[in-house]
Each structure stands twice: as C-alpha cells, then as structure tokens.
Amino acid sequence: MGELSHVAADGSVQMVDISGKTASQRVAKAAGCLLIAEEHRLALDSLPKGDALTIAQIAGIQGGKKCSDLIPLCHQVPLSHLDVAIQLTEQGIIIVATAKTESTTGVEMEAYTAVVVAGITLIDMLKGVSPDLILTDVRLLEKTGGKSDWLRS
C-alpha cells in the first residue's frame, strides 16, 4: 500500500502538502442508497417538513461545500460545481453526487460528504414515519484528474 500521506516520519498526523502539485480539472462521482419501506414511499408527498427530495438535494450541496469543516486534515477545495441527483426507485432513494474543481487536490471527499448529508437529511425527514431506514452502499463511482483516473468496474 505504500506510505500513508497523512502520517509524518515521526508518526504524527499531518495535512498533506499539496503546494508543489499542478492544478488540473478534477471530477469525482459518489453514490449511495437509502433503503425505505413502502410507508416511507407513500409519505413522501405529505411530509410536514416539506419536499424531502428537494430539501435533501440542497442539504447534500451544502454538506459537500462544508467538507473541510467536517473531516480533519481535508483540504478546502474551491468547488466549481457540485451536483446532487436524487431519484426514487424500487430499491429506495438513490443519491448521486458529482463534484468538480480546478485544483491541486481531488474532490472525492466532497462527493462522498454530499451523498451522506443528503442521505441523513432524508432519514431526518422520514424517521417520524418509521425509524427503519438504512443508508447503504456509499461508494466512489469514478474520479478523473490528478495522478490517475479511476472507474468502479
């Protein structure tokens, strides 16, 4: 696996120094699924807190923008775009976040954070119907830019 970039030679933690890296366009896409019951599906149109899917989309965008405030040692990344798509399917509610930047470091953590914040916002809005909700399969789908591109196969 090689050296861990967040561990200094003396074993202490460190924020990775990206000052010598070249800026490039970087994109990351992450996804997750909120497993819901039929009672949740039926309640989506009449929740007292409002339109859950739209509110979760906004929350995901806000969460992705706050990533460096939430994750220790994570760089502040100037996002050029952050899209959160939420779709109700037979499997549950699918959340896909795509983060973009022109920077010296990637935006994988921003995409992950957007997915998770959108998911837990949906949990908050649906838990009154039933707390039986599962946020699952949070994963990176792809990333481009930087040292190498990566695509989940």
What would the mean pLDDT of 122-135 be, rounded to a whole number?
A: 97
Q: Give the pLDDT of residue 3.
A: 67
pLDDT digits (tens, 9 = 90+) for 7-60: 777 878 888 888 888 899 999 999 999 999 999 999 999 998 899 999 999 999
CB atoms within 10 A of CB 40: 24
Note the pTM of the prediction, 2 decimals: 0.92
Domain 24-142 classified CATH 3.30.70.640? yes
* Mean local confidence (pLDDT), 106-110: 96
Please list the active-site residues. Answer: 124
Question: And the tokens for 32?
Answer: 């997750």
Every domain of the chain and the residues it spans: 24-142
Which regions of 74-120 does DSSP assign to beta strands (E)? 79-88, 93-103
In whole angstroms, what is the distance from residue 112 CA to residue 92 CA?
18
- In sequence order, the 6+-apart residues with CB closer than 8 A to the CB of 4 are none
CB contact at 8 A, 66 and 89: no
Range with lowest mean pLDDT among 1-5, 29-33, 67-71, 108-112: 1-5
User: Which range (6-15, 69-78, 94-103) has the least confidence?
Assistant: 6-15
Alpha carbon distance 133, 3 (integer Å): 38
